[in-house]
Amino acid sequence: MSTSRNLCKLLPTSALAATLAGCDMVVMSPSGDIARQQADLIIWSTLLMLIIIVPVILLIFLFAWRYRASNREATYKPDWDHSTTLELVIWAAPLAIIIALGALTWVSTHKLDPYRPLDRIDEERLVPEHVEHMVVEVVAMDWKWLFFYPELGIATVNEMAAPVDRPLQFKITATTMMNAFYIPELAGMIYAMGGMETQLHAVINEEGTFEGFSANYSGEGFSQMRFDFLGLSEGDFAQWVERVKSQGSPLSHSVYKALEKPSIDDPVRYYSEVMPGLYDAILNRCVDPGEVCMKDLMKSHHHHHGEGAGE
């Protein structure tokens, strides 16, 4: 890793200018289509705002120079107070820009809604009809990331992989602390909260190893709460799955309980098989025998209310 990249990790997000200057410009040149569209939004919004900002700045200098004290040629009109032409220009330009920004925001808010399944792989290609989104269930733990692949029956810690150009559906929850799931190359940040499931749909368009991390402070091990996101070809992805299955051990109840304990800077771990319904149990906070799942609590709660109302 280059020093500039390591330095960038130390920068707070508020130091946007510094970040944009030195950090491989990852946010502005991402490898995933959703993040690509988000970068375009930043550029378009900036350009639209510059339409006002640039002329205003230039006019400030022009006015200061034109009406300087030593310029005897400048017209002096102490009683001048109104110009319809000027009023029109002053109001019409911002109005036009606000309409343009509003339209841009409206369209992109719906199009880039993280819960909305993808309709395109990139600018040239739409998602073919028969292609299913690949589901990855994400659990933000203290202080590591656990990934389940329900269709493949495997799980991993602090490393995940996805085939290039395959639409992904992330289902995201947390054990205790609130975190934010963020792979800058792929898409925006999505919160991970205990007892709740958030979602993100995205696609990676280039092979490579990209960094993912938590973008929401969650205590002591937060800084090391990082994982590698691998963008792989179909063949390499199949090999990766085989590696997880052959090198991994089963993720049983007891293994999960040990994993659940807070730990910092964890190594990558592979699990060849997963206890049935584990993600669901984490989400509904009923991993231990005898604990009532939240969804069942909700059901019984509704049921009682229903009975009460019927009497």
Indicate whether 166 and 271 sit together in one domain: yes
Mean per-residue pLDDT, 210-231: 87
pLDDT, average across residues 137-145: 93
* Residue 15 located in a structural domain: no
Q: What is the predicted pLDDT for the residue at 301?
A: 66
Do 194 and 284 share a structural domain?
yes
Instruction: Indicate if 148 and 285 belong to the same structural domain.
Output: yes
Q: 80 or 84: which carries more pLDDT confidence?
A: 84
CATH code: domain of residue 185: 2.60.40.420
Number of domains in the chain: 2
Q: Beginning with the edge strand found earlier in the chain, give each strand of the sheet holding 134-140 in spatial order.
A: 198-202, 168-174, 134-140, 145-149, 154-157, 269-274, 249-251
218, 161: one domain: yes
Average pLDDT, the chain: 85
Same domain for 289 and 156, yes or no, is yes
Same domain, 148 and 280: yes
Domain that holds residue 55: 33-69+82-111
Do 195 and 253 reside in the same domain of the chain?
A: yes
Across residues 296-303, what is the average pLDDT? 72
pLDDT on residue 79: 80
pLDDT tens digit sequence for 27-38: 777 889 899 998
The one-letter code for the residue type at 101 is L
Looking at the fold, whether 62 and 172 belong to one and the same domain comes out as no
Q: Are residues 103 and 37 in the same domain?
A: yes
Predicted pLDDT of residue 94: 87
15, pLDDT greater than 70: no
The secondary structure of 246-304 as a DSSP string is HH-EEE-HHHHHHHHS--SSPPPEEEEEE-TTHHHHHHTT--STTPPPHHHHHHHHHHH
| Tokens representing residue 293 in the block | 């799942």
Could you tell me if 87 and 139 lie in one domain? no
- The answer to whether residues 142 and 196 belong to one domain is yes
The tens digit of pLDDT for each residue in 257-277 reads: 888 888 888 889 999 999 999
Flag whether pLDDT at 293 surpasses 70: yes
**Mean pLDDT of the 94-117 span:** 90
Q: Give the pLDDT of residue 52.
A: 87
- pLDDT band of 7, cuts 50, 70, 90: very low
Please indicate whether residue 70 or residue 311 has the higher confidence score (pLDDT): 70
Report CA Rg, the chain. Answer: 26
Query: What confidence tier does 300 reach under pLDDT thresholds 50, 70, 90?
Result: confident
β-strand partners of 194:
174
Residue % of the chain over a pLDDT of 90:
46
